[in-house]
Amino acid sequence: MTAVTARAHPNIALVKYWGKADTALNLPATGSLSMTLDVFPTTTTVTLAPDAAHDEVVLNGAVREGVVRDRVVRFLDIVREMAGSRTAAVVDSVNTVPSAAGLASSASGFAALAAAASRAYGLDLDRTALSRLARRGSGSAARSVIPGFAVWHAGSDEESFAEPLDAPDLAMVIAIVNSEEKAVSSRDAMKRTALTSPFYPAWVSSTTETLSAAVQASRDGDVERLGRITETNALRMHAVIQSCDPPVRYLSPVSVALFDLAESLRADGLPVYATADAGPNVVFLCRPKDADAVAAAARPLAETMIARPGPGVEVLA
Ligand code: DP6
């Protein structure tokens, strides 16, 4: 019986991925830049089941059906096609990320699944090929293959993978505002934004420029420039999301208060910058030595967790 276990961590984008150039291949409209975290790992075991007629998907101990299972089965079909196999599998995944609360559980989930499934089906993929494969499951998963800071490139199927980026020493303080499932998934909201927001073309063109500036700031080790770019890019993403029809708002009053907190801490001389994914949680970017002070300042508003750059995807056994 072939069983392979892999572990991956979520990542938080400093320059966001919001919009697809190709839905079937899951190619992004723009490149993006992220930090893979050292907290909230997902551990996934893929066991080949030659006698089974169908795949089985178990998440956090519960057998899943419906859309969650379908998405995993579609991903396994891609791996099976690459490997020339028709064998069913059991996927058993334990996820410590608060699911669907905008903390990118699909990123760690599909990065771990890509590594475990490709190995279980006998493929020997290098990191670039693994990042491309993880992208097919969830775009942001391409970046969770990479340790620490990563840039995920836009482009063709061949060109669209993530690779490491030099960056200054940074920490993230995660402020968990609400860990319940969100009303509109990022996948659906992303599609709606591209179809209905009059601002979407400007989001795409400005993010392409923003990414070049962020890569340069990161290579220069310029925390303040990278931080300002991060906060601006996050607010632009939420602006374009709010401008679709019908509108979607992920930020809650507490999220907005946390963005205000970053601004007031900066006014006091502390370089800290806020970002948020498709949910109300806010993530602060700062130097590691300032992380405790940022967490203490945010604590009256939200539960906090300090994260540092974490490992890329790893095959455990
Ligand atoms: C707001 O990677 O979950 O977190 O490719 O459709 O699975 P799919 O989308 P997903 O979207 C992530 C959106 C984001 C921004 C980011 O992580 O860059």
Kindly state if the Cβ of 283 falls inside 6 Å of ligand 1: no
Model confidence over 165-192: pLDDT tens digits? 999 999 999 999 975 666 788 999 999 9
Q: What is the pLDDT of residue 98?
A: 63
Pocket test for ligand 1, best of 12, 17, 160, 187 (most atoms within 8 A of CB): 17
* Domain boundaries along the sequence of the chain: 3-167, 171-307
- The CA distance from 242 to 221, in Å, is 33
Is residue 256 predicted with pLDDT exceeding 50?
yes
Kindly state if the Cβ of 92 falls inside 6 Å of ligand 1: no
Mean pLDDT, range 244-259, rounded to an integer: 96
* pLDDT confidence bin for 39, thresholds 50/70/90: very high
Q: What is the pLDDT of residue 8?
A: 97
The pTM of the full predicted model, rounded to 2 decimals, is 0.96
Average model confidence (pLDDT) across the chain: 95
Say which CATH topology domain 171-307 has: Alpha-Beta Plaits (3.30.70)
Kindly state if the Cβ of 59 falls inside 6 Å of ligand 1: no
Would the ipTM clear 0.95, i.e. be above it? Answer: yes
Q: What is the pLDDT of residue 100?
A: 44
Index of the ligand 1 atom closest to the CA of residue 141: 2
Q: What is the pLDDT of residue 96?
A: 85
- State CA 225 to chain mean position distance: 22
Pocket test for ligand 1, best of 71, 78, 186 (most atoms within 8 A of CB): 186
Residues 37 and 10: beta-carbon distance below 8 Å: yes
Eight-state DSSP code of residue 238: H
- The CA distance from 280 to 302, in Å, is 11
> Which phi and psi (to 5°) does residue 277 adopt?
-90, -155
Say which CATH topology domain 3-167 has: Ribosomal Protein S5; domain 2 (3.30.230)
Q: What percentage of residues in the chain have a pLDDT greater than 70?
A: 96
Tell me, in angstroms, the distance from the centre of ligand 1 to residue 186's CA: 6
Eight-state DSSP code of residue 181: P
Q: What is the pLDDT of residue 317?
A: 78
Is residue 101 predicted with pLDDT exceeding 50?
no
- The CA distance from 309 to 146, in Å, is 10
